[in-house]
Amino acid sequence: MIVANRKPFEEIIEMLKPYSKILLLGCNECVTVCATGGSKEVAVLASEIRLYRQKEGKPVEIGEVTLERNCDPEYVESLKPFIHDYEVVLSMACGCGIQFVGEHYRDRLVLPAVNTTFYGVTEEHGVWTERCQGCGNCILHKTLGICPVTRCAKSIFNGPCGGSQGGKCEVDRDIPCAWHLIVDRYRELNMMDKYLEIQPMKDWSTSRDGGPRKRVREDLKI
Amino acid sequence: MRLSYPTNVKIIKVPCTGRVDITHVLKAFEDGADGVYLVGCLEGDCHYLVGNIRAKKRVEYLKHILDECGVGGERVAMYNMSSAEGQRFAEVAREMTEKIRTLGPNPAKKEK
């Protein structure tokens, strides 16, 4: 899932200063699962903003809507009947959703209420960690299911580096060294001979270095 | 026991403090409450195992939210007592009322 963090309250309040009719938009997908921007978080933030503005003597009207998805036109279009009742949209969806709603309603500003952070997993209830960077050329078969692009601070392909100590990364002693995990896995599966193979330089053009990416399936186009 | 406690305390019954959601408490503040406190069973005595522990964590989170929006986190509190502690219940009601009275009215209260 895409994991996001809510922006600091002061930053949100500052963005909303000129407005008194706000549509607070949530998303039922990833940001609901990572407890950042689902209907529950929309209700809490709406309440918080109302309380703050009431205290400041500048009351605000907030519409609370959570779409099934903010990254699909069929759901984004459902905002059409009422989006113009509001001066501005404050979105708790990920960066994709924020932009996509803005593209559909060019006469309305869509402000971000979250910082979109990473592609991750729920490690335990209330804890999410990063697993993928969407580099566009997966090598998990070579590293036995542990991604060095994401989980190694240097994204190195022939590790570990000299900063790995006791299985931990030098960047932060709480971060496991990805290459330590990979070597453990090679050992577990009795595949140490594979570990000794030198990995060539990675072609990063499939990643962000090649500009924004696009996927097309002609058979699905209507 | 014929104990008395301040009349301004309004009781909202829930099956367990674990039922209390952050949005319920925020709504109380939006509707003009000056303070909200949760009274749960003693820790370790929850009939639903951890309802009161969850409520305690939610109260901590609420304090943070209320501090952020300027209402003040000290306006929420969590107390634990058994249903046989009527004396303590009345004592806490007085304690909380006095605390809130010192803090003054909810700054986000709507004018009627």
**What one-character DSSP code corresponds to residue A57?**
T
| pLDDT given for residue B1 in this prediction | 75
| pLDDT given for residue B19 in this prediction | 97
Domains, chain A = 2-118 (3.40.50.2300), 134-200 (no CATH)
| pLDDT given for residue A169 in this prediction | 97
Q: Identify the CA nearest to A51 among candidates B26, B99, B96, B78.
A: B26
| pLDDT given for residue A68 in this prediction | 98
Residue of A49, A51, A59 with shortest CB distance to B71: A51
**Burial degree of A24 (CB within 10 A; 0-12, 13-18, 19+):** buried
Assess whether pLDDT exceeds 90 at residue A123. yes
| B112 located within any domain | no
| B57 located within any domain | yes
Give the distance from CA A183 to its chain's centroid. Answer: 29
User: Is the ipTM of this structure higher than 0.90?
Assistant: yes
Assess whether pLDDT exceeds 70 at residue B112. no
| B22 located within any domain | yes
Q: Do B22 and A44 touch (CB under 8 A)?
A: yes
**Percent helix, strand and coil across chain A, each to the nearest 5:** 35, 20, 45
* Boundaries of domain holding B80: 17-103
% chain B with pLDDT above 70: 99
Assess whether pLDDT exceeds 80 at residue B111. no
Domain count, chain B: 1
| pLDDT given for residue A209 in this prediction | 87
Q: Do A44 and B107 touch (CB under 8 A)?
A: no
**What one-character DSSP code corresponds to residue A202?**
P
Chains A, B: CB contacts within 8 A come to 44
pLDDT tens digits for range B11-67: 999 999 999 999 999 999 999 999 999 999 999 999 999 999 999 999 999 999 999
Q: Do B26 and A51 touch (CB under 8 A)?
A: yes
| B56 located within any domain | yes
| B45 located within any domain | yes
| B6 located within any domain | no
Q: Do A52 and B65 touch (CB under 8 A)?
A: no
| pLDDT given for residue A116 in this prediction | 98
Residue of B68, B110, B112 to mutate, testing the A interface (most A Cβ within 10 Å of its Cβ)? B68
Task: State both tokens at A204.
Answer: 């990063």
pLDDT tens digits for range A137-172: 999 999 999 999 999 999 999 999 999 999 999 999
Mean pLDDT for chain B overall: 96
Assess whether pLDDT exceeds 80 at residue A134. yes
Chain A segment 37-76 residues within 8 A of B by beta carbon are: 40, 43-44, 47-52, 54-56, 59
Q: Do A55 and B71 touch (CB under 8 A)?
A: yes
pLDDT tens digits for range A35-76: 999 999 999 999 999 999 999 999 999 999 999 999 999 999
pLDDT tens digits for range A5-40: 999 999 999 999 999 999 999 999 999 999 999 999
Q: Mind giving me the DSSP string for B23-38? A: HHHHHHHHTT-S-EEE
Assess whether pLDDT exceeds 80 at residue A217. yes
